[in-house]
Amino acid sequence: MGAGSQRRGARDALPTAEQVLTLTTGLVTEAAFAVGLMAACSIVIVLVLLAGG
């Protein structure tokens, strides 16, 4: 394999900007899911506290 083909192969193996964006969005979505759970449960706990247990 020539040097040019190797460079092309290495370039093809790298993720595209679109793929990186999709992966990053996925990761942020998962983090947001955890934060959403945290927020919802915090409301439940505060309501219980306000209701006096």
Partner 1 sequence: MLRPSVDDHRVVGLYTGKIVSGVGLLMIVPLVTALVFREWDTAIDFGIGLTVCLAVGLGLQALCRTSDELQRRHGLVVVSASWILATALGAIPLYLSGHMGSYLDAVFDVMSGLTTTGLYLMQDLDHVSNGLNMWRFILTFAGGQGIVVIALTFLFKGVGGGLYHLYSGEGKEDRLLPNVVHTARVIWLISLGWLAVGTTALTIGALALGQAPVRAFLHSLWVFMGAFSTGGFAPQSYNTFWYHSLAFEIMCIIIFVAGSLNFAVHWAVWTGERSELRRNVETRSFAVTLGIFTLIAAIGLARSGVYTDALPLVRKTFYLLISGHTTTGFGTVYSRALVTQWGPLAMLAIIGTMVIGASSCSTAGGIKGIRIAIITKAFVQEARRMLGPDSAVVTSRYHHLKNRVLQDATIRSVLLITVAFLTLHAIVTMAGVLAGYPFIEAAFDGVSAASNTGLSCGVVSPSMPGALKAVYVVAMWLGRMEFLAVFALFGWLWSVVRGR
Instruction: Report if residue 52 touches partner 1, rule: CB under 8 A.
Output: yes
Instruction: Report if residue 34 touches partner 1, rule: CB under 8 A.
Output: yes
Instruction: Report if residue 26 touches partner 1, rule: CB under 8 A.
Output: yes
Instruction: Report if residue 46 touches partner 1, rule: CB under 8 A.
Output: yes
Instruction: Report if residue 6 touches partner 1, rule: CB under 8 A.
Output: no
Give, in order, the Cα–Cα distances in Å from 1 to each of 13, 18, 23, 48: 16, 29, 32, 69
Q: Chain-centre distance of CA 10, in angstroms?
A: 26
Least distance to partner 1 from the beta carbon of 18, Å? 10
Residues 6+ apart with CB under 8 A from 23: 15
